[in-house]
């Protein structure tokens, strides 16, 4: 397929001027008739890889998708772009299905989305040669290695036998090596070309914090994010409800979402979120699968997830439109213990515990988090990312030998028979029952670290665990025990470097202050228009235009059809459907802005005039108003021309006036100021010349 044809189609139907990384290679490979396996992170532009060929191929493209919600979303999106598409699943009535069969028969559809269970239903309408392409979305569902295994997917292997001449494209956002191989085997496409995109989502900031005062931190976080959609993931249903009701009490449009809520209500909550009616969802991990909302601006993990795959998938729901989005993970010692318990009760304890360990290492890391995350997915990065909390605020190390010696000897005195909380209590000289009952107040280590706060001491001990001096005996009530390495510190005076623990205030101060979004911005105006149109048409707002497209409109301010078409995300159909209204809004906004500027300008002259009346010199006025002195001069000239009582002589010396008078004769009264300026070899500035001429003219009249 010719490149210009591809690019024209990309612009016409999807509104993009260029392909994103890998898309072109994949599309080319599809047109060559090859089978393809595409591993691309959420938000990397996977769908274009089969939707674009589908538009150009002669026959229908079948898309196998596991979730009804996802299907509907994609079909709505395609329809909004003017692409004939439909979906078929068990939720439809017979009449609805008949209609679709007819469209297949008459070759009216470009794409048909099908659940694997419904494949049999359409079998009789299709034969080899009648299907141009088969796309299998969320392909990891076919593999029991993957984390979302779906039994119905395993029958998809027959497709290659049924349609031997039709290329297959399998797509997924997460797949480790074992899963990739399994997908190709099960689909009978062992020679599929593999396209593995980078998993790096540069637009997502990464932030990890100790789980202390979580709700207060969340409140601070969302304070600057008015109207921005976000998800808060929690470990338990109870927590989701607690946080949602606290947020509601604070006047924020939040809702809890978990598997215990009835189906209808869950659908409603999800719709409200998608349509921007609800701002925040507090959810268990049940939420988010199959949601294609592109403008989720942030994701918070209230609790630590059980592995990095889940974590990455969940934060990956933010910023699919490619705009900067934030993620925040709270980790706590209690979460780790809880998750360890879950892992021990699961079928494959060793794997689960190993995965949890990697999650924990990530949370407690003291080096660039993105590097750790990407290396987990097999991608090695040389450079630090600059967009994680560690990069923004690198840990400061200090000689922590004495703190380490105190903590380690306390663990030693307690004979490895107490959990971290009791160790901290003893070190801080607490008077509680756990300490007094066992006479720990008699120990030599009792109270030797009173000067350190409970929280800091806990963090230091966690660092000692990470360095390898201490281990947690998970199967013995989580007691802390010394490792052989601890000897070096206790008896051989080995030095220990600990990382300084910043307090929340420090973190807050170093964080870049997010620019306050004003309700008066063009973006907000366009967002409101989009919301209004979405309500009228009863479709999700982002199907009209996504946030990235609105942002570009705000920046470029297109006021003609041609300029509007040049915006990324505006295709032919959207131009026809919405162009007029959006352009109208942009023009109205720009006009309003211009008028405001005008009136502001009027004001600025007035201020200068008032200061002038008070007797201030040009230098004084310019200093006071933080304006260039030439600006002040221009104000005065304008005021003078407007008939205000300004004595220009005040700004001229007799010598200046005489010099200009003489020059005017010599230069034969030129019409512009430049000859004067050059005549004086730039020794007199424009304003002096201009004022002098004005005064001379007045004298002469
Ligand atoms: Zn980093």
Within 10 Å of residue 580's Cβ, how many Cβ atoms?
Answer: 12
Residues surrounding ion ligand 1 at CB below 5 Å = 368, 370, 384-385, 388, 391
Residue 516 reports pLDDT greater than 50: no
Query: With helix as H, strand as E and coil as C, how does 411-424 read?
Result: HHHCCCCCCHHHHH
CA of 367 to the centre of ligand 1 (A): 7
492 domain-assigned: yes
In order, the DSSP letters of 566-609 are TSTT--HHHHHHHHHHHHHHHHHHHHHHHHHHHHHHHHHHHHHH
Does residue 116 contact residue 149 with C-beta atoms inside 8 Å?
Answer: no
In terms of domains, do 49 and 110 share one?
Answer: yes
Residue 195 reports pLDDT greater than 50: yes
Domain boundary among 164, 196, 228: 196
CA of 207 to the centre of ligand 1 (A): 9
C-alpha span between 166 and 133 (Å, rounded): 6
Residue 429 reports pLDDT greater than 50: yes
C-alpha span between 592 and 525 (Å, rounded): 12
Q: What is the reported pTM? A: 0.66
- Higher confidence at residue 36 or residue 105? 36
User: Taking the alpha carbons of 349, 354, 357, 358 in that order, is the dihedral positive or negative?
Assistant: negative
675 domain-assigned: yes
| 451-483 pLDDT per residue, tens | 999 888 988 998 888 788 988 776 777 789 999
CA of 398 to the centre of ligand 1 (A): 21
In terms of domains, do 107 and 144 share one?
Answer: yes
User: Taking the alpha carbons of 584, 590, 594, 595 in that order, is the dihedral positive or negative?
Assistant: positive
In terms of domains, do 56 and 120 share one?
Answer: yes
Mean pLDDT, the chain, as a whole number?
87
In terms of domains, do 410 and 497 share one?
Answer: yes
In terms of domains, do 275 and 369 share one?
Answer: yes
In order, the DSSP letters of 107-174 are T--SEEEE-GGGHHHHHTT--TTTEEEEEETTGGGG-TTSSS--GGGGGGGHHHHHSTTS-EEEEES-
- Dihedral of CA atoms 346, 351, 352, 354 in degrees, nearest 10, equals 150
C-alpha span between 682 and 130 (Å, rounded): 80
CA of 285 to the centre of ligand 1 (A): 26
CA of 563 to the centre of ligand 1 (A): 38
57 domain-assigned: yes
517 domain-assigned: no
Biggest alpha carbon distance in the chain?
Answer: 107
Domain boundary among 371, 392, 413: 392
In terms of domains, do 589 and 647 share one?
Answer: no
| 620-631 pLDDT per residue, tens | 888 888 788 888
Least confident of 375-379, 395-399, 611-615: 375-379
180 domain-assigned: yes
Residue 346 reports pLDDT greater than 80: no
CA contacts within 13 A on the Cβ side of 259 = 6
Mean pLDDT for the stretch of residues 513-527: 70
CA of 175 to the centre of ligand 1 (A): 23
507 domain-assigned: no
Does residue 323 contact residue 372 with C-beta atoms inside 8 Å?
Answer: no
CA 314, 317, 321: angle at the middle one, nearest 5? 160
CA of 404 to the centre of ligand 1 (A): 28
Residue 507 reports pLDDT greater than 70: no
Least confident of 75-84, 193-202, 330-339, 619-628: 619-628
CATH number, domain at 68?
3.40.50.300
Q: Where are the alpha helices (DSSP H) in 430-484?
A: 433-436, 454-467
Pairing, β 296-301 against β 397-399: unpaired
| 211-221 pLDDT per residue, tens | 888 999 999 99
Does residue 262 contact residue 252 with C-beta atoms inside 8 Å?
Answer: no
Residue 518 reports pLDDT greater than 60: no
Nearest to 304 by CA among 362, 366, 345: 362
DSSP 8-class letter at 10: I
Q: What is the pLDDT of residue 689?
A: 86
In terms of domains, do 29 and 114 share one?
Answer: yes
CA of 395 to the centre of ligand 1 (A): 12
Q: Is 500 helix (H, G, I), strand (E, B) or coil?
A: coil
Does residue 133 contact residue 169 with C-beta atoms inside 8 Å?
Answer: yes
Residue 224 token pair: 């600057």
Q: What is the pLDDT of residue 513?
A: 45
In terms of domains, do 375 and 401 share one?
Answer: no
CA of 394 to the centre of ligand 1 (A): 9
CA of 384 to the centre of ligand 1 (A): 5
In terms of domains, do 173 and 220 share one?
Answer: no
Q: What is the pLDDT of residue 168?
A: 97
Secondary structure of the chain: what % helix, strand, coil (to 5)? 50, 10, 35
CA of 428 to the centre of ligand 1 (A): 35
Least confident of 211-220, 522-531, 544-553, 683-692: 683-692
Q: What is the pLDDT of residue 410?
A: 95
Residue 510 reports pLDDT greater than 70: no
C-alpha span between 86 and 107 (Å, rounded): 12
351 domain-assigned: no
Q: What's the chain's length in residues?
A: 701
CATH number, domain at 411?
1.10.10.10
CA of 199 to the centre of ligand 1 (A): 15
The Cα-based distances of 422 to 213, 473, 487, 615 in angstroms read 21, 15, 22, 74
Q: What is the pLDDT of residue 504?
A: 60
Mean pLDDT for the stretch of residues 59-66: 93
| 283-320 pLDDT per residue, tens | 987 677 667 788 899 999 999 998 888 899 899 899 98
CA of 370 to the centre of ligand 1 (A): 5
What is the domain extent for residue 587?
A: 522-602
Helical axes 572-613 vs 629-641, angle rounded to 10°? 80
Domain boundary among 572, 602, 632: 602
Q: What is the pLDDT of residue 591?
A: 86
Q: Where are the alpha helices (DSSP H) in 163-286?
A: 177-186, 214-223, 237-249, 263-274
As for how many domains the chain has, the answer is: 5
CA of 189 to the centre of ligand 1 (A): 38
654 domain-assigned: yes
In terms of domains, do 19 and 131 share one?
Answer: yes
CATH number, domain at 543?
1.10.150.80
In terms of domains, do 635 and 587 share one?
Answer: no
CA contacts within 13 A on the Cβ side of 304 = 29
CA of 401 to the centre of ligand 1 (A): 28
Q: Where are the alpha helices (DSSP H) in 280-419?
A: 308-315, 333-345, 349-363, 369-376, 389-392, 401-413
pLDDT category, 184, cuts 50, 70, 90?
Answer: very high
CA of 375 to the centre of ligand 1 (A): 13
Residue 599 reports pLDDT greater than 80: no
In terms of domains, do 74 and 185 share one?
Answer: yes
CA of 372 to the centre of ligand 1 (A): 9
């Amino acid at each position: 397929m010719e490149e210009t044809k591809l690019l024209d189609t990309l612009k016409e139907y999807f509104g993009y001027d260029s392909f994103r990384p890998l898309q072109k290679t994949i599309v080319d490979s599809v047109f060559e008739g090859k089978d393809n396996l595409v591993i691309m992170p959420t938000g990397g532009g996977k769908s274009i890889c089969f939707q674009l060929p589908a538009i150009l191929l002669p026959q229908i493209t079948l898309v196998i998708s596991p979730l009804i919600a996802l299907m509907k979303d994609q079909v709505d999106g395609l329809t909004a772009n003017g692409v004939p598409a439909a979906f078929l699943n068990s939720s439809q009535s017979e009449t609805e299905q008949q209609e679709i069969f007819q469209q297949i028969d008459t070759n009216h559809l470009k794409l048909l989305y099908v659940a694997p269970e419904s494949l049999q239903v359409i079998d009789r309408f299709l034969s080899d040669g009648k299907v141009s392409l088969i796309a299998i979305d969320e392909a990891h569902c076919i593999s029991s290695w993957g984390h979302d295994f779906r039994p119905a997917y395993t029958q998809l292997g027959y497709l290659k036998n049924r349609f031997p001449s039709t290329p297959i494209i399998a797509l997924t956002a997460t797949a480790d090596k074992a899963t990739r191989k399994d997908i190709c085997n099960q689909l009978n496409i062992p020679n599929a070309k593999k396209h593995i995109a980078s998993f790096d989502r540069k637009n997502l900031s990464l932030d990890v914090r100790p789980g202390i005062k979580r709700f207060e931190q969340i409140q601070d976080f969302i304070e600057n994010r008015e109207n921005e959609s976000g998800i808060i993931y929690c470990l338990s249903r109870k927590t989701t409800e607690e946080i949602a009701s606290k947020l509601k009490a604070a006047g924020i449009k939040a809702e809890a979402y978990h598997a215990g809520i009835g189906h209808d209500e869950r659908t409603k909550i999800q719709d409200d979120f998608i349509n921007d009616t609800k701002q925040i969802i507090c959810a268990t991990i049940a939420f988010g699968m199959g949601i294609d909302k592109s403008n989720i601006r942030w994701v918070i993990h209230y609790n630590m997830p059980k592995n990095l795959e889940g974590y990455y998938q969940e934060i990956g729901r933010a910023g699919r439109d490619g705009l900067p989005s934030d993620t925040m993970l709270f980790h706590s010692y209690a979460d780790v213990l809880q998750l360890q318990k879950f892992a021990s009760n699961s079928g494959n304890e060793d794997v689960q515990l190993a995965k949890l360990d990697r999650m924990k290492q990530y949370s407690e890391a003291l080096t660039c988090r993105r590097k750790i995350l990407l290396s987990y997915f097999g991608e090695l990065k040389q450079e630090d990312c600059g967009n994680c909390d560690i990069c923004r605020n690198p840990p400061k190390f200090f000689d922590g030998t004495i703190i380490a010696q105190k903590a380690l000897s306390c663990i030693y005195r307690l004979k490895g028979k107490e959990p971290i909380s009791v160790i901290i209590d003893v070190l801080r000289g607490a008077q509680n029952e756990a300490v007094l009952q066992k006479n720990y107040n008699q120990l030599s280590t009792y109270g030797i670290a009173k000067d350190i706060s409970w929280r800091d001491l806990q963090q230091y001990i966690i660092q000692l665990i990470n360095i390898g001096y201490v281990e947690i005996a998970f199967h013995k009530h989580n007691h802390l025990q010394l490792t052989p390495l601890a000897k070096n510190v206790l008896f051989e005076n080995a030095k220990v470097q600990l990382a300084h623990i910043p307090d929340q205030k420090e973190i807050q101060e170093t964080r870049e202050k997010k620019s306050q979004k004003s309700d008066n911005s063009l973006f907000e105006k366009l967002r409101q228009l989009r919301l209004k149109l979405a309500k009228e048409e009863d479709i999700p707002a982002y199907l009209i235009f996504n946030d990235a497209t609105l942002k570009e409109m705000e920046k470029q301010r297109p006021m003609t059809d041609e300029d509007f078409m040049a915006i990324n995300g505006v295709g032919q159909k959207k131009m026809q459907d919405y162009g007029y209204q959006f352009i109208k809004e942009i023009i109205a906004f720009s006009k309003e802005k211009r008028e405001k500027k005008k009136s502001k300008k009027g004001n600025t002259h007035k201020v200068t005039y008032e200061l002038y009346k008070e007797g201030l010199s040009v230098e004084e006025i310019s200093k006071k108003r933080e304006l260039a002195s030439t600006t002040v001069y221009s104000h005065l000239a304008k005021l003078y021309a407007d008939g205000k009582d300004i004595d220009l002589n005040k700004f001229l010396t007799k010598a200046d006036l005489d010099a200009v008078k003489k020059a005017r004769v010599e230069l034969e009264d030129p019409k512009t100021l430049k000859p004067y300026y050059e005549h004086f070899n730039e020794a007199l500035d424009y304003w002096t010349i201009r004022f002098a001429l004005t005064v001379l003219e007045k004298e002469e009249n």
